């Protein structure tokens, strides 16, 4: 069940750049991956330097995984859109 949840997050990140495929500036497809990457780094920093108590710490690390996995999917989706636009 957990693998399916993380795969769905990856797919969501993969599909986000396709929403911007018709927009003229080509750099716009990289904005979602950049924002998600910054969010993942922020949650990692929060979890590492200001740890919560018990389950709160676990939730912060889970947020890091969620944003990180979605950012990876968005980077892959951005690469696909980039190569589709260049052909």
Structural contact between residues 37 and 71, judged by C-beta atoms closer than 8 angstroms = yes
CB atoms inside a 10 Å sphere around CB 32: 21
Strands (E) across 1-87 are located at none
| Averaged pLDDT for residues 9-35 | 89
Q: Is the dihedral of CA 61, 67, 71, 77 positive or negative?
A: positive
Count the alpha carbons within 13 Å of 21 in the hemisphere toward its beta carbon: 15
| pLDDT reading at 53 higher than 80 | yes
| Averaged pLDDT for residues 27-35 | 91
Entry pTM: 0.86
pLDDT band at 52 (very low <50, low <70, confident <90, very high): confident
For 51, which DSSP code?
-
| pLDDT reading at 2 higher than 80 | no
């Amino acid at each position: 069940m957990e693998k399916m949840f993380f795969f769905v997050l990856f797919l969501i990140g993969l599909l986000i750049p396709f929403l911007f495929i018709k927009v003229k500036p080509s750099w716009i497809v990289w904005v979602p991956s950049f924002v998600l990457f910054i969010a993942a780094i922020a949650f990692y920093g929060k979890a590492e330097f200001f740890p919560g108590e018990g389950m709160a710490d676990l939730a912060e690390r889970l947020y890091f995984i969620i944003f990180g996995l979605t950012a990876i999917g968005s980077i892959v989706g951005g690469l696909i859109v980039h190569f589709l636009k260049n052909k």
